[in-house]
Amino acid sequence: MAASTSLSEYLIVVVSLLAISAIRSAVASIHTYHRDPFREVGSSFLVSGGSEGIVASTNATSFIQFQNITFLRSRAAADHHPIVSHSSGLVQIVLFEAADRDNIGGSPYGGQRSICCTPDLAKLEGCKQGEVIRIPSANDNKWPIVLNVHFSGRHMATHLKNTKIQITKTGMYNLFFISCDPELNGMTLSGRTVWKNPDGYLPGRMAPLMKFYVIMSLAYVLLCVIWFVQYVRFSNDVLHLQHWITIVIALGLFEMSLWYFEYAHFNKTGTRPVGITTWVVTIGAIRKTLSRLLILCVSMGYGVVRPTLGGFTAKVLLLGFTYFLASELLNITEYVGTINDISGRARVFLVLPEALLDAFLILWIFTSLSKTLEQLQVKRSSVKLDIYRKFSNALAVAVVASVSWIVYEVYFKATDPFNERWQSGWIISAFWDILALLLLCVICYLWAPSQSSQRYAYSEMGDEDEEEAQTLFSATQKGDINLVKLERRDSGEGTHGFDEEDEEGKRE
């Protein structure tokens, strides 16, 4: 019960920190630009304004709105035009659906594709030199949408009037701010765009996850209720291993609940609190780390075959700390401040350390599990051997499922480079939460608290005595344990069936 008290105090501290850090928020589905520089791509200069999946609506609830969009050029570029009233310098805002991506740009004579109209393309495509090449969509000649903004004379800044574009077709939309004028090199962009779905501000890829986290929270609540009933019922016989299982369950419930509230806030306001998101991913990293270490410790026989990890304690802790750092960096990169439906390139590099650590953990787990099974076979501990065989079978299924899913995930992303299947993309991340919950349920089932937990933990009984003891203790009330011990002692059974308390009593 001491572990439950300390866990409650920890949760109170975390909630308090969350309340403090929630004061600071960062925009998410509302994309904000703070003097973002235009980068050179071929013959053009551009800034990516965002990429999100949007579900169509007929009542004007799905839209992309431009607010306070300002372009600022250099003084040298402004002074290049002596006539104050003359329009000088063109910036174009290009919005297109992923299926129409080939309708932007062209390629002269089958060469390298160009965004801007070159002299050769002006002859071939009939485009206007110095502007973005736009080919009307076969489904709607209004798309892709191109908005033109001109600088005036020597003015250093120009603005786009607040504009709202209604979305009437479900798709993955991409926004770019582009200039084909080489004199506008060094230009910056400020302002913001608001991307709205019919049900809120959540990007299309994330919207299904809000309902998913409701279901996962309910699943963890059910597991918590079942586990804590047993935990409280047999509180005097709870093992250290079962304390750790309790902590992992509580962290899982806490994480799933916070994910739902974070997404609900995001969906309602269009802003994503950096503080809450950081704490959610941190709790998730802690939960993932403890879950893996729990599986490793169980595989090594901790709490059932051996009372401690012995000389492996420092190595397990070092591995856990390293895994936490790798997971934390990956989650922060993927979730904190994320404003697009397409993950950044940095995530690819951060996935590798976690993947390598997972591979090393799997190798260590199955090596340890093999040694534990061999030890139980030598001791003829058939009941424990049966439990560990079930556990090893569950782990094997989980590993096969994980590898298969990784192969599918690679195939999914390789065949969908432009995120056109974004509506089903949420399943990729949801699978890992489901798998973690199922493995946790298996551990809870195999090592559920019972009135014989303490006596059964490290016993060195033979095969027949062990099975008999389990039958006796499963059928005996908690208050009759000592009576059973006395009956066994009076019956003259071998001393090898006594636990550590019995041996100490004999010595006294």
Sign of CA dihedral 55, 57, 61, 63: positive
Report the pLDDT value the prediction gives residue 145, as an integer from 0 to 100: 92
Q: Is residue 470 one of the residues assigned to a domain?
A: no
Q: Is residue 465 one of the residues assigned to a domain?
A: no
The reply to whether 231 and 250 lie within a common domain is yes
Residue 9, C-beta contacts closer than 8 angstroms, at least 6 positions apart: none
The H-or-E segment that residue 360 falls in is helix 346-378
Report the pLDDT value the prediction gives residue 6, as an integer from 0 to 100: 41
Please, what is the angle between helix 382-414 and helix 463-475, to 10°? 80
Report the pLDDT value the prediction gives residue 487, as an integer from 0 to 100: 43
Q: Is residue 471 one of the residues assigned to a domain?
A: no
The letter for the amino acid at 426 is W
Q: Please give the Cα distance from 279 to 332 (Å, whole number).
A: 10
Residue 492 backbone phi and psi in degrees, to 5: 80, 20
For the beta carbon of residue 4, count every other beta carbon within 10 angstroms: 17
The reply to whether 184 and 266 lie within a common domain is no
Find the farthest-apart pair of alpha carbons in the chain and give their distance in angstroms, rounded: 112
The reply to whether 381 and 449 lie within a common domain is yes
Give the pLDDT confidence of 42-64 residue by residue, as tens digits: 788 899 888 888 888 878 788 99
Report the pLDDT value the prediction gives residue 9, as an integer from 0 to 100: 40
Q: Please give the Cα distance from 286 to 280 (Å, whole number).
A: 10
Q: Is residue 254 one of the residues assigned to a domain?
A: yes
The reply to whether 353 and 491 lie within a common domain is no
Report the pLDDT value the prediction gives residue 297, as an integer from 0 to 100: 86
Domain total in the chain: 3
Residue 265, C-beta contacts closer than 8 angstroms, at least 6 positions apart: 271, 272, 273, 276
The reply to whether 152 and 246 lie within a common domain is no
Residues of the chain with pLDDT under 50: 1-28, 85, 341-344, 459-508
The reply to whether 55 and 139 lie within a common domain is yes
Residue with tokens 């941190």: 282
Q: What is the CATH number of the domain that holds 233?
A: 1.20.1070
Report the pLDDT value the prediction gives residue 218, as an integer from 0 to 100: 95
Report the pLDDT value the prediction gives residue 81, as an integer from 0 to 100: 60
Report the pLDDT value the prediction gives residue 87, as an integer from 0 to 100: 61
Q: Which of the listed residues 178, 196, 214 is the one where a domain comes to its end?
A: 196
The reply to whether 401 and 499 lie within a common domain is no
The reply to whether 67 and 16 lie within a common domain is no
The letter for the amino acid at 353 is P
The reply to whether 131 and 182 lie within a common domain is yes
117: left (phi over 0), alpha (psi -120 to 50) or beta: beta
The reply to whether 361 and 490 lie within a common domain is no
Q: What is the DSSP letter of 447?
A: T
Q: Which candidate, 474, 467, 1, 499, places its Cα nearest to that of 242?
A: 1
**Residue range(s) defining the domain that contains residue 496:** 476-507
The reply to whether 226 and 370 lie within a common domain is yes
Residue with tokens 């093999």: 370
Q: Please give the Cα distance from 481 to 225 (Å, whole number).
A: 27
Give the pLDDT confidence of 283-293 residue by residue, as tens digits: 999 999 999 99
The reply to whether 238 and 361 lie within a common domain is yes
